[in-house]
Amino acid sequence: MPRKQYAPEQIIDMLRQAEVELAQGATIPLVCRKLGITDQTYYGWRKEYGGLRVDQAKRLRELGKKNARLKRIVAHQALDLAIMREAVSGNF
């Protein structure tokens, strides 16, 4: 069975739905079944996105993309630097 990918905005909306239903007296397994997720997924999402608003989740995703891009840049520069050091040392 293929896994579903949810956007952070969708996850936050689902967590809000769950909070409303839990406040009305529903149990966590019942809420998870209604949302179509497992209990472990619910707890993982609550841990990661529990106190976030939608705009904060968007900002978090943008920062993650920017961080990954910067890590790639640093890796490329480190590789270039290692190649230059090898060329200067004359170990051909």
Is residue 48 within 8 A of residue 38, CB to CB? The reply is no
**Predicted confidence band of residue 2 (pLDDT cuts 50, 70, 90):** low
Residues 6+ apart with CB under 8 A from 34: 21
This prediction's pTM: 0.65
pLDDT tens digits for range 35-74 = 999 999 999 999 988 888 888 888 888 999 999 999 999 9
What are the pLDDT digits (tens) for 24-39? 999 999 999 999 999 9
| Torsional sign, CA 45, 48, 50, 54 | negative
Q: What is the torsion angle, in degrees rounded to the nearest 10, for the CA atoms of residue 72, residue 76, residue 82 and residue 86?
A: 150
